[in-house]
Amino acid sequence: MSDWIPLSDPDITEAELAAVRATLCTSTVSAGPAVEMFEAEFAASVGRRHAIAVASGTIGLWLTLRAYGIGAGDEVICSPHGWRETAHAVALSGAAPVFADVDYWVGTLVPEKAEARIGPKTRAILASNPNGHPAPWDSFREVASRHGLLLLEDSTEAIGSVYKGRRVGGFGDCAVFDFSQPSPLVCGEGGMVVTDDPAIAASLRRHRARRPEERASVVLGAVPASQSGMSDLAAALGLAQLRRLDVILAKRKLVEAFYTEAVQSFEGIKPPFVAPDIDDIHWFLYIMHLGTRFTRSGRDAIVEDLLNEHVRATAYSQPLHLQPYYFGLGFRRGDFFVTEKVADRALALPFHTHLASEQVAFIVATMKDASINTGAGAAIY
Kindly report, residue by residue over 83-116, the tens digit of the pLDDT.
767 788 999 999 999 999 999 999 999 999 999 9
Residue 381: predicted pLDDT: 45
Dihedral (CA of 183, 184, 187, 193) sign: negative
Instruction: Decide: 128 and 108 in contact? Cβ < 8 Å.
Output: yes
Q: 3-class SS at 125?
A: strand
Q: What is the pLDDT of residue 327?
A: 80
Cα separation, 272 vs 259, in Å, equals 10
163: closest CA among 250, 46, 84? 46
pLDDT given at position 380 = 45
List Cα–Cα distances, 94 to 70, 76, 97, 154, in angstroms. 8, 11, 9, 19
Whole-angstrom Cα distance, residue 208 to residue 202? 10
Residue 375 confidence (pLDDT):
53
pLDDT at 66: 95
pLDDT at 227: 79
Average pLDDT, the chain: 90
- The DSSP 8-state label assigned to residue 214 in this structure reads G
Neighbours of 302 (CB within 10 A): 22
Q: What is the predicted pLDDT for the residue at 374?
A: 63
Q: Which domains, ranges and CATH numbers included, belong to the chain?
A: 14-243 (3.40.640.10), 245-370 (3.90.1150.10)
pLDDT of res. 379: 47
Residue 232's nearest CA partner among 15, 25, 58, 10 is 25
| Strand partners of residue 175 | 153, 194
Listed as ranges, residues in the chain with pLDDT below 70 are 1-2, 84, 210-223, 373-381
Which of 136, 184, 175 lies closest to 157, judged by CA?
184
Report strand pairing: 174-178 vs 150-154. Answer: parallel
Residue 253 burial (C-beta neighbours within 10 Å; 0-12, 13-18, 19+): middle
- Taking the C-alpha atoms of residue 22 and residue 240, their distance in angstroms, rounded to an integer, is 12
Verdict on whether the full-model pTM lies above 0.85: yes
The burial class, CB within 10 Å (0-12 / 13-18 / 19+), for 204 is buried
Q: How far apart are CA 169 and CA 57, in angstroms?
A: 13
The pLDDT of residue 212: 57
